[in-house]
């Protein structure tokens, strides 16, 4: 959705995944949500694939990549499963490692998600620097 997760939604889906719910379940929920439809409208399969490449991987697909994923959708693979293919790819995990670490650390240590300003300031920093920053926060002191 091109935004930070809200804490309630993040906590809900983390809880569901810890209970053994497949990663496809939240992905399907996101793809079918009103927020998705309000933001993107009704997209053709080809337009959906281009959107996922742009939003998840930050790039345009090659013609063969676009053809492959559009073909998968045309064969009946759900949009949620396609998004999982992108989110769990090595390319995406490498691209989002800093953000994932920041969200995880902030959620666990400060019991919230990072703000937009915190994301801009800390996403690309080494993990040790992020931890040191969190440890220096009054909110962290108040928790411990």
- Strand spans (E) along 1-144: none
Using a pLDDT cut of 70, give the percent of the chain over it: 100
- Phi then psi for residue 99, to 5 deg, are -65, -45
Structure tokens that stand for 108 in this block:
């666990």
Token readout for 5 is: 């997760």
Q: Is the pLDDT score of 92 beyond 90?
A: yes
pLDDT of residue 18: 95
In this predicted structure, the answer to whether residue 82 has a pLDDT above a threshold of 80 is yes
pLDDT of 73 > 90? The answer is: yes
Mean local confidence (pLDDT), 53-73: 96
Sign, CA torsion 40/20/81/124: positive
């Amino acid at each position: 959705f091109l935004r930070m997760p809200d804490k309630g939604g993040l906590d809900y889906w983390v809880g569901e995944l810890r209970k053994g719910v497949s990663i496809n379940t939240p992905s399907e929920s996101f793809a079918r949500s009103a927020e998705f439809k309000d933001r993107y409208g009704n997209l053709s399969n080809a337009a959906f694939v281009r959107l996922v490449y742009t939003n998840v991987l930050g790039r345009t697909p090659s013609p063969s990549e676009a053809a492959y994923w559009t073909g998968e959708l045309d064969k009946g693979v759900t949009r949620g499963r396609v998004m999982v293919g992108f989110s769990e790819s090595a390319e995406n995990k490498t691209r989002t490692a800093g953000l994932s670490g920041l969200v995880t650390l902030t959620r666990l240590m400060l019991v919230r998600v990072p703000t937009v300003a915190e994301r801009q300031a800390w996403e690309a920093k080494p993990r040790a620097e992020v931890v040191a920053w969190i440890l220096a926060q009054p909110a962290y002191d108040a928790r411990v």
